[in-house]
Each structure stands twice: as C-alpha cells, then as structure tokens.
C-alpha cells in the first residue's frame, strides 16, 4: 500500500495572539504520533480554523488549496529540510486551529487540489482532477463551531477516516474538521461526499478541499541469508 510514513494532527490552542507556531515533534496530539521530519521527504499539512491563515514560509499553497468562508481550510506542502517547525498568521487573535500533518516518502509529488465553499451536508464538494497513475487522495471538511454547546461529526461516503475533531466556542469560535483518504487510487478525478451528523451550533454549510499526492515507491533492503558450512 502506498501511504504516509508519519502522521500527527496537532490542536493549536487559543493563545491570545494572531500567530500559531507548529512543530510536528511537539504539541497537543489529536491523533497520530509526534515525529521529527526527515529531510527529503514530502510534508503535507491541512489547516482548519475559523480564521484566515497565511502560507508558512518555505511551504506551497497549491492552486485550489484554500476554502475560505465561515472558516479557513487550507492545504500546504513542502520538501522537508529536517525539523520543519512552521508559523502562520491569522486575520484575528485568540482562535484555535488544527494542523493535520502527513509525511510521505522522498520522491512523492503533489498531484493537485480543488476547493469549494458553501457545500451542504451530504454534498460531494469539489473534484480534484487531471490525476494520472496511482494516487493517494485526501478529502477534508471544515466548519465553524460558534457555541460552547457545538457538536457534530462527519460521515464519509468513501475512503478511510483519519480524523474527525471538534473544538467548541470559548470566547472565540472553534471548528469542526475531518479528513478521509483513498489509498492506491487509479481514479482520474475524485469527489467524496461528506454528511454531517449530530450537529448543533455549526454553520449550515461547509468548506471542502480535495487533494492528492503520488506516493513514491519505497525499497526494502534485501534479506541476507547466512549459510553455515558443516564439517564432515
């Protein structure tokens, strides 16, 4: 299976400022495990919060890589240098955000992204297209949680759900964020429907992103078989 090497989703708290600095090796883990990126591998991060977020220095915001309406939902990528702490600046202060970080083998390439806003629950959202060969396809949902009593979860029409998390309001709005993925997909385009369930005090429509990477093959070192000569 072509998949990630490391994955961690970090919940960045309300910190009284307009900036979040994120380190894949430290922070509050929502799912996955903290890791230190290895130079040469591809890093992909999805960011969700009820604010806008600037593209971190050294990272790329692809065409179709942002969906901004009630919340700001983004995808960025870069080739790891090792360490790879990054910072983003928001348009207002003291909002929480989630940073969902994936590390893929060296040689992995970003295939493309597509975005849409104002998608109703159950809607397929955007379609990432012009895909060739075999890809690892990811779909995300973002929404604003504007009350302390906000609830909700996402049910995906296909794929494997990697994360589904919600942070409610506490002086500022929180967020709902979910991601699903398709491994070893040979589809030339993909749009995955997402249905919200158990919702309360969320915005009526959702922000959506679809994006894909072409995962590089990894090689397994040969197994050495030791032969023992027996004396007769």
Residue 190, domain extent? 6-214
How many CB atoms neighbour CB 175 within 10 A? Answer: 30
Note whether residue 231 is domain-resident: no
Alpha carbons 73 and 56: distance in angstroms, whole number: 14
Tokens of 23: 């380190």
Give percent of the chain above pLDDT 90: 91
Q: What's the DSSP call for residue 90?
A: B
Structural domains of the chain, count: 1
Give residue-wise pLDDT tens across range 182-225.
999 999 999 999 999 999 999 999 999 999 999 998 754 444 44
Give residue-wise pLDDT tens across range 52-109.
999 999 999 999 999 999 999 999 999 999 989 999 999 999 999 999 999 999 999 9
Note whether residue 205 is domain-resident: yes
Give percent of the chain above pLDDT 70: 94
In the block, tokens 């967020």 appear at 175
Alpha carbons 169 and 155: distance in angstroms, whole number: 22
Q: Which residues pair with 104 in a beta bridge?
A: 42
Note whether residue 226 is domain-resident: no
In this predicted structure, what is the pLDDT of residue 232?
38
Alpha carbons 19 and 39: distance in angstroms, whole number: 25
Note whether residue 209 is domain-resident: yes
Q: By the 8 A CB rule, do 212 and 204 touch? A: no
Judged on CB neighbours under 10 Å (0-12, 13-18, 19+), 205 is middle
Note whether residue 38 is domain-resident: yes
CA distances from 226 to 139, 177, 219, 222, 229 (A): 47, 51, 21, 13, 10
The pLDDT mean for the chain works out to: 94
């Amino acid at each position: 299976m072509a998949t990630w090497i490391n994955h961690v989703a970090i919940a960045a708290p309300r910190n009284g400022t307009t900036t979040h600095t994120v380190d894949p090796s430290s922070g509050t883990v929502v799912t996955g495990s903290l890791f230190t990126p290895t130079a040469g591998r591809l890093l992909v991060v999805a960011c969700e919060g009820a604010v806008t977020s600037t593209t971190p220095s050294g990272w790329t915001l692809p065409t179709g890589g942002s969906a901004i309406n009630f919340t700001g939902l983004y995808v960025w990528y870069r080739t790891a240098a090792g360490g790879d702490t990054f910072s983003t600046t928001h348009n207002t202060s003291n909002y929480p955000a989630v940073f969902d970080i994936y590390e893929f083998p060296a040689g992995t390439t970003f295939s493309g992204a597509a975005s849409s806003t104002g998608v109703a629950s159950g809607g397929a959202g955007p379609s990432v297209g012009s895909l060739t060969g075999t890809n690892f396809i990811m779909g995300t949902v973002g929404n604003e949680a504007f009350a302390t009593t906000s609830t909700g979860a996402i049910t995906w029409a296909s794929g494997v759900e990697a994360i589904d998390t919600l942070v409610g309001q506490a002086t500022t709005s929180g967020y709902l964020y979910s991601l699903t993925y398709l491994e070893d997909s040979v589809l030339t385009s993909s749009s995955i429907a997402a249905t919200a369930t158990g919702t309360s005090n969320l915005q009526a429509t959702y922000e959506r992103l679809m994006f894909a990477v072409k995962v590089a093959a990894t090689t397994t070192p040969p197994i050495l078989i030791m032969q023992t000569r027996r004396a007769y």
